[in-house]
């Protein structure tokens, strides 16, 4: 499964962060996933227990924040959701736009002590 | 009650691997070793293509091969028959190689003094596209029986590759494979990609590909 290797990568990054900052316990890991990223949040959640099994993060919770696929129209500067409006500006119907957010795939923060 | 607080990380999930990959690339540059990451679906003819590539170039440069598979070593045996240095890497169930595994593989292979190292990645068009291995060039093989619509299904893989080998062109008559349509679809995703139609079995088109590879090694060592 595609998401599994990625979740292992998340755990690796968090482990580095924990070691570097002398943390003892991670309560929650918060990820940000854009609507247009290639990752499916449901599968990330399903793979997570396998990735933390037998590690120091066995009791750690996972939270995923979804970032909307937002674009700004090059014509009228209207900001709209790319998926909802099928890649077309709902104001002026232009197809020329720049992406603002939606491809994110990052670790936002951890709640830890 | 423990004193939990929120700590910002703000790191892309692939950042760590990307950093390791950049370090490895710089190291390989120092050693004049061109690392090629070869990717494809299972059964596209990666190993056969490798054998014909090695046979064309082995008299003029030192080549090493790393075979990555979830299990087994049948491919490594086939490559070893060409007289080339080869190592089998087992990913232990993982569907791709990352930079750290590649680095360990190079150490196991003993890559010093090599001009060209080819990493045969796990047969898979999804995960290997996300993980930078530290290779200087990414090459993928699409074989005729897979269909000319593959670029539409796996856009990321086609976007990150420098070269596309369209293999098994000797079987074109048996399949509805439109070479022009496939090339157009790939170029739309990645205008800079080089496309070489080949038949690793008959040798057709292989020379154009090995000429490119010879040039890439030269550029890597001289630039």
Residue A2 to residue B127, Cβ atoms within 8 A: yes
Is there a contact between B114 and B87 (Cβ–Cβ < 8 Å)? no
Query: By CA distance, what is B12's nearest residue in A?
Result: A106
Which segments of chain B have a pLDDT < 70? Answer: 1-2, 93
Domain residue spans of chain B: 15-222
DSSP 8-class letter at A68: P
Is residue A1 pLDDT above 60, yes or no?
no
Contact B95 A9 (CB under 8 A): no
pLDDT at residue A104 in the model: 87
Q: Which ipTM did the prediction report?
A: 0.82
- The overall average pLDDT reported for chain B is 92
Can you give the pLDDT at residue A68? 95
To the nearest whole Å, the CA of A41 is away from the closest chain B CA by 14
The correct CATH number of B15-222 out of 1.10.10.60, 3.30.70.141, 3.40.50.300, 3.30.2350.10 is 3.40.50.300
Q: Specify the residue for token string 């499916």.
A: A40
Q: Does A21 touch chain B (CB under 8 A)?
A: yes
Strand, helix or coil for residue B142: strand
A13/B13 CB distance under 8 A: yes
Question: Across B48-109, where does the E strand assignment appear?
Answer: 63-69, 85-90
Across the interface, whether the CB atoms of B130 and A108 are under 8 A apart is answered no
pLDDT in tens, B13-60: 888 889 999 999 999 999 999 999 999 998 999 989 999 999 999 999
Q: Identify the CATH assignment for A2-68+101-112 out of 3.30.2320.50, 3.40.50.720, 1.10.645.10, 3.40.50.10680.
A: 3.30.2320.50
Write down how long chain A is. Answer: 113
């Amino acid at each position: 499964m595609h998401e599994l290797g990625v979740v292992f990568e998340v755990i690796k990054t968090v482990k580095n962060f924990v070691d570097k900052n002398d943390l003892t316990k991670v309560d929650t890991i918060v990820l940000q996933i854009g609507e247009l990223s290639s990752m499916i949040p449901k599968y990330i959640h399903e793979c997570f227990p396998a990735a933390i099994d037998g590690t120091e993060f066995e009791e750690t919770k996972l939270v995923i924040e979804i970032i909307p696929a937002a674009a700004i129209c090059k014509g009228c500067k209207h900001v709209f959701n790319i998926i909802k409006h099928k890649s077309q500006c709902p104001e002026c119907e232009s197809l020329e736009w720049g992406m603002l957010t939606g491809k994110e795939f990052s670790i936002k923060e951890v709640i830890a002590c | 009650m423990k004193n939990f607080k929120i700590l910002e990380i703000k790191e892309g999930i692939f950042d760590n691997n990307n950093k390791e990959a950049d370090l490895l690339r710089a190291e390989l540059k120092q050693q004049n070793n061109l690392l090629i990451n070869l990717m494809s679906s299972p059964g596209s003819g990666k190993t056969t293509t490798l054998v014909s590539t090695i046979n064309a170039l082995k008299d003029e440069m030192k080549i090493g091969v790393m075979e990555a598979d979830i299990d087994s070593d049948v491919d490594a045996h086939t490559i070893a028959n060409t007289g080339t240095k080869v190592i089998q890497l087992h990913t232990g169930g993982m569907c791709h190689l990352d930079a750290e595994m590649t680095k360990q593989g190079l150490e196991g292979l003993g890559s010093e003094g090599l001009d060209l190292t080819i990493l045969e990645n796990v047969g898979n068009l999804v995960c290997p596209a996300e993980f930078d291995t530290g290779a200087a060039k990414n090459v993928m093989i699409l074989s005729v029986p897979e269909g000319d619509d593959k670029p539409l299904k796996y856009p990321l893989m086609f976007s990150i590759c420098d070269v596309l080998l369209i293999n098994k062109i000797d079987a074109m008559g048996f399949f509805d494979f439109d070479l022009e349509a496939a090339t157009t679809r790939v170029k739309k995703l990645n205008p800079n990609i080089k496309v070489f139609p080949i038949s690793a079995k008959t040798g057709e088109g292989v020379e154009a590909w090995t000429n490119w590879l010879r040039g890439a090694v030269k550029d890597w060592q001289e630039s």
